[in-house]
Chain A
Amino acid sequence: MSGRFVLALALGATVLAPLVAPTYHVLLMLPFMAYAVALLGLNLLFGYTGLVSFGHALFLGVGAYTGAFLTSVFNVRSMETILAAAAALGALVAAPVGALCVRYVKIYFGMLTLAFGMVFYTFVLKFYRLTGGDEGMPFLRPALVGRSLEDLPKTDYLVGPYYYYSLAVLVLATLVMWRIVRSPFGLCLKTIRDNPTKAETLGIGVARYRWCAFVISAVYAAVGGALLGPPTGNVDPTLAYWTQSGNIVFMTLLGGFASFFGPVLGAFVFIYLQDWVMSVVPFWRLIFGAILAAIVIVAPGGLAGFWVRRPPVEASSP
């Protein structure tokens, strides 16, 4: 089966899901689509630039809290405004954080991003009067494309307009990222991933490109974070906790960071597998720990690695 056919099939199934699938499973698609947006960004950093961030929940949190503030404090209900503000704030926070983090690589980069993530988590947890502390903040129902949709029951709103809105954002985010990784900029990121020393001698400013990738990935994570708010209607600090950062790295590994759509697949499998395992056994983290260990040992290419095999010599093309 060609990649395009599988992609068309997946997109078709996603479009039809609210019409045919049980409501519960359709609702699970909402966090999947939000995480998928965030993971497209995370993988620009991980799979294409070679930097593993353990603190990207920070930007999920920035996006989600931006939406919560705008809707519940400033009564701004436009989802487009919320997404734009989340993207802008994500970039604003990522600019100085990235400038510090990209000076380091490997475990030092990972630990530094983790540290910044924990600083943000502590901020939202402790500044109770501003953020609601551990109780979080309400994320009021946003208007979509100028329509308030307040009269719809919550479930109808989520499995109807909000579902297709999230899908549209995911498709748009995918198209933009597809273009970025196939641009001259994307090629420079791949050289840095493969061999930063050599990239530098070709005149490619490694730190500058890493910083750009970091900021773009933060923008994606913030948009994903903003999309996570409406389904629960509340944003709390657990979204910014380090285990969330671990989860999204897990999703990337599960799907396969070497493939463009691998992390999206990882998000899908993670969300549904987690839901199923949690319904069967109380200690779901034990099962997921075993799965992660198995992936690293047996299938480092993730689930996408089983399907996409890189031939040693690619077919000649004009």
Chain B
Amino acid sequence: MILRAEGLRKLYGQFCALDGVSLAISAGEFVSIIGPNGAGKSTLVNVLTGVLRPTAGTVTFRDRDVSGIGPARLARLGIARSFQLVQIFPDLTVLETLQAAVVSRLGHGTRLFASLAADRAVREGALEVAELFGLGPKRHVRARHLPQGDKKLLDVASAFALRPQIILLDEPTSGVSTADKTAIMETLVSASRRIGVQAIIQVEHDMDIVFGYSDRIIALHEGRVLADGPPATIEADRRIVDTVIGRRARAR
């Protein structure tokens, strides 16, 4: 196991967003977290990525307790994430955005008087990721001027530029046209292999994407794990189909 969560509880006042969630992620897995709105998916991602400290329970990464240590330290340890609502640096170019991630990964951020332009390791690392995600031709375009789909891709690509061991993708295809969704997922999977990402965890609503790519699916409902198993088992469970997946998936 490279990531393990045990007995996670998260309270917002009286409201219990997570109620004893436990899960374990092994190397080589592609895990999807599904659930209706309010099931606790985003809270779970925020707890796993150190943004939120759990009210109770622990998150361990390679046997180290990382509960609530903050996203910056977690990213440096090897857990990266992308966001549901696209997060970019509007005034930076595509290349600068990816360079920032590589600077962080290589620990070059303390170099006050070094030339960024002359830092070959940073530039090559950024260009490699730009090419992997098809952003090479747009490397000098400011992020604010990219089309929405490319902004999403840049957000994800910058997380990959950290060369993380685990990557958490919060709805990686949201806001993207149906036609582009498969292309984005194929890019993600291919980039993961090239970069050596050991596990992908995604939160996703599109059941075609979930069932098409996942090795394992974790279904959340009202802050609890309703089911945790391979896609075939999940799809065969009428209780989950009725509660989480809905009619659309049943018709598949």
Where the two chains meet, the residues of A that have a C-beta atom closer than 8 Å to any C-beta of B are 176, 179-180, 182-188, 190-191, 193-195, 197-206, 209, 310, 312-317
Q: Is the CB of B142 within 8 A of A202?
A: no
- Interface-forming stretch among B10-18, B86-94, B174-182? B86-94
Query: In the complex, which of the residues B87, B88, B96 contacts A187, with contact meaning CB atoms closer than 8 Å?
Result: B96
Q: Is the CB of A312 within 8 A of B145?
A: yes
Q: Is the CB of A204 within 8 A of B104?
A: yes
Residues of A contacting B: mostly: helix
User: What are the nearest 10 A-B pairs in CB distance?
Assistant: A203-B75, A194-B89, A203-B104, A198-B87, A184-B108, A184-B103, A203-B76, A201-B71, A188-B109, A314-B140
Asked whether any CB of chain A lies closer than 8 Å to the CB of B251, the reply is no
Q: Is the CB of A188 within 8 A of B104?
A: yes
Q: Is the CB of A187 within 8 A of B49?
A: no
What's the nearest-Cβ distance from chain A to residue B103, in Å?
4
Q: Is the CB of A184 within 8 A of B140?
A: no
Minimal Cβ-Cβ distance residue in B for A192: B89
Minimal Cβ-Cβ distance residue in B for A201: B71
What's the nearest-Cβ distance from chain B to residue A211, in Å?
13
Minimal Cβ-Cβ distance residue in B for A316: B140
Q: Beta-carbon contacts of B91-115 to A below 8 Å, as 1s and 0s?
A: 1110011011101110011111111
What's the nearest-Cβ distance from chain B to residue A82, in Å?
24
For A180, the chain B residues whose CB sits under 8 A away are: 112-113
Pairs A–B under 8 Å by Cβ, sample size 14: A184-B109, A184-B111, A186-B116, A187-B103, A198-B89, A199-B89, A199-B100, A201-B72, A202-B104, A203-B72, A203-B105, A204-B72, A312-B142, A314-B140
Q: Is the CB of A183 within 8 A of B116?
A: yes
CA distance A24 to B160 in the complex (A): 59
CA distance A183 to B109 in the complex (A): 8
CA distance A191 to B158 in the complex (A): 12
